[in-house]
Amino acid sequence: MTKRMIFTLAVMDSVGHNFQGSWRHPDSRSSEYKKLDLWTHLVRKAEAAKIDAIFFTDQLGMTGTCNGSEDIVLEMAVTVPLGEPSMLISALAQATKNIGLTWTSSIIQHPPFTFARMVSTLDHISDGRVGWNIVTSTNDRAYRAFGFSGVPSHEERYGRADEYLEVVYKLWEESWEDGAVLADRERGIYTDPRKVHSISHHGPRFDVDGYHLMEPSPQRSPVLMQAGGSPIGLDFASRHAEVMFLAAMSPEGAAKQINAVRDLARGYGRTADDILFLQGLSFVIGSTEDEAARKLEEWEGWRSAEGQIAYWTGLTGLDLGQFDPQTRLEDLVDTIPGIRGAFISAINAAPPGVKPTVLNFLTTAFKPHTIAGTPDMIADKIEAFQAVGVDGIQIMSVVMPGSYEEFFEHAVPVLQKRGLMQQDYARGTLREKLFAGRGAHLTATHPAARCRRYT
**pLDDT tens string 46-59:** 999 999 999 999 88
The mean pLDDT value for 263-278 works out to 95
Query: Which residues partner with 210 through β-bridges?
Result: 199
Q: Phi-psi bin for 319: left (phi > 0), alpha (psi -120 to 50), beta?
A: beta
- The predicted pLDDT at position 335 comes to 66
Residue of 215, 103, 221 whose CA lies nearest to 166: 221
| Higher per-residue confidence, 326 vs 206 | 206
- What is the average pLDDT across 259-281? 94
Q: Judging by beta carbons within 10 Å of its beta carbon (0-12, 13-18, 19+), is residue 3 exposed, middle or buried?
A: exposed
Output the DSSP codes for 2-28.
PPP-EEEEEEESBS-SSSTTGGGSTT-
Interstrand relation of 6-12 and 392-396 (parallel, antiparallel or unpaired): parallel
Mean pLDDT (whole number) for 344-368: 68
321 pLDDT higher than 90: no
Which pLDDT tens digit goes with each residue over 429-448? 999 999 998 899 999 999 99
Q: State how far the Cα of 298 lies from the Cα of 267, in Å rounded to an integer.
A: 48
d(CA 75, CA 354): 36
Higher per-residue pLDDT: 315 or 219: 219
Q: Is the pLDDT reported for residue 209 higher than 90?
A: yes
Given a cut of 80, whether residue 313 has pLDDT beyond it is no
Nearest-10 crossing angle of helices 251-267, 375-387:
40
Instruction: Encode burial over 403-430: b for 16+ CB neighbours within 10 A, e otherwise.
Output: bbbbbbebbbebbbeeebbbeeeeebbb
- Which segment of 41-50, 317-326, 398-407 scores lowest on mean pLDDT? 317-326
Least confident of 36-40, 93-97, 209-213, 362-366: 362-366
- Can you give the pLDDT at residue 424? 97
What are the two backbone dihedrals, phi and then psi, of residue 303, each rounded to the nearest 5 degrees?
-70, 135
Which range, of 134-138, 243-247, 353-357, averages the lowest pLDDT?
353-357
Instruction: Judge whether 89 and 132 are in contact, CB under 8 Å.
Output: no
Instruction: Evaluate if residue 112 carries a pLDDT over 80.
Output: yes
Is the separation of the CB atoms in 77 and 23 below 8 Å? yes
pLDDT at 455 over 60: no
CA 214 remoteness from chain centre: 25
Q: What CATH code is assigned to 6-169+212-303+370-450?
A: 3.20.20.30
Contact of 191 with 181, CB cutoff 8 Å: yes
Least confident of 195-204, 247-256, 439-448: 247-256
**13-68 per-position pLDDT tens digit:** 988 777 777 888 889 898 899 999 999 999 999 999 999 999 999 888 767 766 66
pLDDT at 317: 67
pLDDT band at 340 (very low <50, low <70, confident <90, very high): low
Q: What is the pLDDT of residue 104?
A: 96
286: pLDDT strictly greater than 90:
yes
Of the chain, the percentage scoring pLDDT greater than 90 comes to 62
Residue pLDDT, tens place only, 360-390? 666 655 455 889 999 999 999 999 999 999 9
Q: Report which listed range, 139-148, 297-306, 411-420, is most confident.
A: 411-420
Average pLDDT of every residue of the chain: 88
pLDDT given at position 337: 60
Nearest CA among 206, 197, 148 for reference residue 177: 197
- Range 248-264 average pLDDT: 91
Nearest Cα residue to 84 out of 115, 113, 53, 112: 115
In contact, 48 and 40? CB cutoff 8 Å: no
User: In this predicted structure, what is the pLDDT of residue 67?
Assistant: 63
What is the domain partition of the chain in residue ranges? 6-169+212-303+370-450
Highest mean pLDDT of the ranges 10-24, 57-71, 273-287, 349-363: 273-287
pLDDT of residue 247: 85
